[in-house]
Amino acid sequence: MAFKYPMRRRRPQPLLVLSFVVIMGALMYAKKMPVSEPVLGLKVASSRLQVYFRETPPPKDWTIAAIEPAKGEVWVDLTLPEKQAAAFTHQPRRNLLDALTSQCPPQSDPAWSVLLKTQDIEIRSLSADGKALAAISCRAARK
């Protein structure tokens, strides 16, 4: 009867392990870096805001008409129902601006990390027929 030795597992090469650690560290470092191209940052932020508004939808009966990068900002267009839009036109403007400010993503949201300091998120309210009612700059509102 022949005695068989158990198959020994090969040890990974130290250089292979070291290169893996260095590459993973570089990837983690690169993820924390801000986006250097303005257009790319706006596109990434607009796609992140689409996820944000799916997770935290606007008030009842408000609909998201569009989330798109434009003129160095990400515009979030919210359509209000006719009755609410009419009510906001007769109330003090501050009420509508406060309602729009509450729709801004928090500073901890990843959408802010990809925007440059000169870029912003603007929440705009539209009536049912597409007429602009008011707009708020999220960066200015959070100061």
pLDDT at 33: 56
Are 26 and 33 within 8 A, CB to CB?
no
pLDDT at 72: 87
Q: DSSP labels for 79-139?
A: EPPHHHHHHHHHS-HHHHHHHHHTTSPPTTSHHHHTS-TT-EEEEEEE-TTS-EEEEEEHH
Domain boundaries, the chain: 35-141
Residue with the larger pLDDT of the pair 89 and 61: 61
pLDDT at 32: 59
The torsion angles phi and psi of 7, rounded to 5 degrees, stand at -70, 130
Give the CATH architecture of domain 35-141: 2-Layer Sandwich (3.30)
Mean pLDDT, rounded, for 85-114: 87
pLDDT at 31: 62
| E strand or H helix at 112 | helix 110-113
Work out the pLDDT band at 13, boundaries 50, 70, 90. confident
pLDDT tens track for 106-117: 999 888 988 888
- Distance, in Å, from the CA atom of 77 to the CA atom of 122, rounded to the nearest integer, reads 8
- Distance, in Å, from the CA atom of 14 to the CA atom of 83, rounded to the nearest integer, reads 69
Overall pTM surpassing 0.95 (yes/no): no
Residue 75, sorted as left (phi over 0), alpha (psi -120 to 50) or beta, turns out to be beta
Mean pLDDT, rounded, for 68-91: 88
pLDDT tens track for 16-61: 778 888 888 777 766 655 556 667 889 989 999 999 999 999 988 8
Of the candidates 120, 124, 117, 125, the one whose C-alpha atom is nearest the C-alpha of residue 138 is 120
